[in-house]
Homo-oligomer: A and B are copies of this chain.
Amino acid sequence: MVGIKDIAKKAGVSISTVSYALNGSPKVTEETRARIQAIADELNYVPNMAARTLKSRQTKIIGVYLADYGGSFYGELLDGIKKGLAHYNYEMIVCSGVKSHLFIPERMIDGALILDWTFKTKEIEQFADRGHSIVVLDRQLTHENIRQVILDNKGGATLAVEQFASAGTKKMYLISGPEKGYDSNQRLETSRRELDRFAIPYEIIEGDFTEPSGYKAIQTILEESPQKPIDIFALNDEMAIGVYKYIKETPYEIGTDIRIIGFDNSELGAFIQPRLATISYSKHRWGIVAAETIIKLIQGQATEHEHIYTSFISGGSFTK
């Protein structure tokens, strides 16, 4: 491996001169700087990350923790994060799995962005206690070294319920999400509260944000209540897709017999017929805001918790 030592030898100078030259210090002549740079290029010199990190105590890399890479969901988000970080000259790596949590205390990364329900809150707090900067996208957490950039699930759920209310819904079915999930709980609680407010009776059918759980949920619903129209708020789009799938096998029609609204504005929902009405938000913006927040946190600038707001997207699956 070629190091500054090799360059120094070839250039006939000391290693410190090389170091100064390469780091653009004003302590060397422009002439020698150019000469040394040329030699470095010629030798294909690349600084050793480990050695540099050992001194400078920072890697300029942010770790993004995801539970899994599935679904087209993450594409836009990661894109936003990447763009946001690039602005500050930071790189990003995407990690998943419990072993990579070590990257944080090992100081392989300068900070972490977490959207991974398998990452225990306790562990996150421990890392924060040890001084590591973390931004969480999927829970509420108050700590000096932690910031949240979270979805306005409350606003989204409110929007959905309002739609149903103004459409004269007599009874609502809520297909819920994972019990421990932050997003799913927020959406569920808000929906209940809003429905109570409108005095609309409702029933909760258990789901877990997966397509099959939506498929099963609609079966349960149809078993008991053939009263049309059947109004459903699926707490995410994937489960709504599951509903579509089952309905395709029945004489029911989405949009007339079944009125349904999802959450997340997934690609699939936009494609299926009729289009799935849903609650939307900018995943891209979410990423950018998260990136800015972690950088500011690292750099010691003042930062607040952030929210990403939602909007209603109409579609053929829900007609008044």
B273 to A271, Cβ gap below 8 A? Answer: no
Q: Which residues does chain B contribute within 8 Å of A75, judged by CB atoms? A: 68-71
CB-CB under 8 A from A230, the residues of chain B are none
Q: CB of A93 within 8 A of chain B?
A: yes
Q: Are A82 and B96 in contact (CB under 8 A)?
A: yes
A49 within 8 A of B: yes
* Interchain CB contact under 8 A, A97 and B82: yes
A103 to B126, CA, bound (A): 28
A91 at the binding interface (Cβ < 8 Å)? yes
Which residues of the other chain, B, contact A96 by a CB distance below 8 angstroms?
Answer: 78, 82
Chain A 62-87, CB within 8 Å of chain B: the 1/0 string?
00000011111011101100100010
Known A-B contacts A54-B54, A69-B69, A75-B70; A46 and B82 likewise in contact (beta carbons under 8 Å): no
Name, among A44, A82, A86, A106, the residue most crowded by chain B CB atoms within 10 Å (CB to CB): A106
A selection of 12 A-B contacts at a CB cut-off of 8 Å is A46-B106, A48-B106, A49-B107, A50-B54, A50-B107, A50-B108, A69-B69, A71-B72, A78-B96, A91-B95, A92-B100, A248-B273
